[in-house]
Amino acid sequence: MPMDRTKLSILRIYKGNAMRTFLFVMLAFSGVTVLQAQKSIETVVIDAGHGGKDPGCHGKFSKEKHVCLSMALKLGALIKKKYPELKVIYTRETDVFVELGERANIANKARADLFICIHANAASPAAYGTETYVLGLHRSESQQKVASRENSIIELEEDGGAQYKNFDLSPDAIIAKRLQLSVFLDHAIMFAQYLQAEFKKLGRRDRGVKQAGFMVLYKTTMPSVLIETGFLTNPSEEIFIGKETGQNKMANAMLAAFEKYKRNIEGKELSTPIKSENKNISEEKPVEKVLEKNKLKEESKNSTFISKVIEAEDKNTGLNFRVQILSLNAKINADSPRLKGEKDTFEYRQGGLYKYCTKSFGKDLKSAVKYKVQMREKGFQGAFVVAFLDGERIGIEKAINLVEK
């Protein structure tokens, strides 16, 4: 059956959100033209929310537009200092108004590898904590309110938002967009999880990785996140993110998350520890890129686990797609309850972490994508597809190119 008839049939038959999401992801790897994930990070666009005539939300002494700009510039400076070869682009560097569409256009025209949108939140004085958003369907009224508040600035644009009159943010449209950016979405979720983990180390309340229909995320064509750094309507949080000391800590936390993300995407080990602004946090130590089998035997007392790992290594020749389900600070055994009964897992080390993947699907990317959905339903919310070549982690784009050849 021709692909266009297949897509039409699917759109007509399946109406449930879960089934639609699954089918769109499957279509993404079945021959439909889909944007592919990058294999390196060369250009980063940092978007300071609001600005100019759009102040955003506010607290007793601070405005969102100023808080966002300060953190954005601090983060950009840190990235440039750490990675001088990287290109860092700001959607704004001063207190000016930039339309939502233009913010995305700046990133798209620059062919950015990552889009980081920085905001501050507003709610009741009791609300507190950080949350990071990726594009998706809101699952609660509070998520919908956050998206509506951030999207509402189109009313301040010169045409009063007329250019968005026919803009479709319906569930079907968002799911279709997620199809187009399927691999990028996995990477956005990965980066969002790193961000929330770093914020938590600062003692911030982790409100989680969430999804909603943010217009600025919808229009970008690369891994994109929107960070709600805290609630200016909460007096304590306003003191933290509204002043330079807290802003420096948040920027350093974002840098640490960015470094982990960059290393993961590029399949590289950390050459130096990630320094944290919080002196009480232990720094991660660099580890060897590949464990020799005899060292693995000495480290583990579980003979069954050893044999499974060695067997996995022996079979892990050529190209293999797997689903990564866990990333931990400490090693676990094959019978650990954290694996939720998953058998034939594959362990590798990267960035000072122990990472666990499911069984190999060889070159069968479709089956790996399908299994990723099953793993998320099983409770591994951050599960995503990874690729290995002769036991070495490689980028998804390179793996797809190898399959096509």
CA 154 to chain centre: 26
CATH classification at residue 217: 3.40.630.40
Does some domain include residue 20? Answer: no
Residue 192 tokens, joined? 């969002």
pLDDT-derived band at 45 (thresholds 50, 70, 90) equals: very high
pLDDT in tens, 328-374: 878 888 888 889 889 889 998 887 788 999 999 998 988 998 999 89
pLDDT in tens, 307-320: 343 344 445 678 99
Does one domain contain both 210 and 324? Answer: no
Does one domain contain both 42 and 174? Answer: yes
Does one domain contain both 207 and 253? Answer: yes
Does some domain include residue 98? Answer: yes
Does some domain include residue 389? Answer: yes
Does one domain contain both 325 and 394? Answer: yes
Does some domain include residue 272? Answer: no
68-87: average pLDDT? 97
Does one domain contain both 48 and 176? Answer: yes
> Is 103 or 211 the better-scoring residue by pLDDT?
103
- To the question of pTM greater than 0.75 for the whole model, the response is no
The residue with tokens 């790193």 is 194
Domain final residue pick, 266, 282, 311: 266
93-97: average pLDDT? 96
> What domain count does the chain have?
2
Note down the domain range covering 384. Answer: 293-404
In this structure, which long-range contacts are made by residues 164-172, counting pairs with CB atoms below 8 Å and at least 24 apart in sequence?
A: 164/101, 164/215, 167/215, 169/213, 169/215, 169/218, 171/17, 171/137, 172/20
CA 34 to chain centre: 18
Measured in residues, the chain has a length of 405
Query: Alpha-carbon distance 234 to 237, whole Å?
Result: 5
Does one domain contain both 212 and 86? Answer: yes
Query: Alpha-carbon distance 214 to 226, whole Å?
Result: 8
pLDDT in tens, 279-301: 332 222 222 222 233 333 333 43
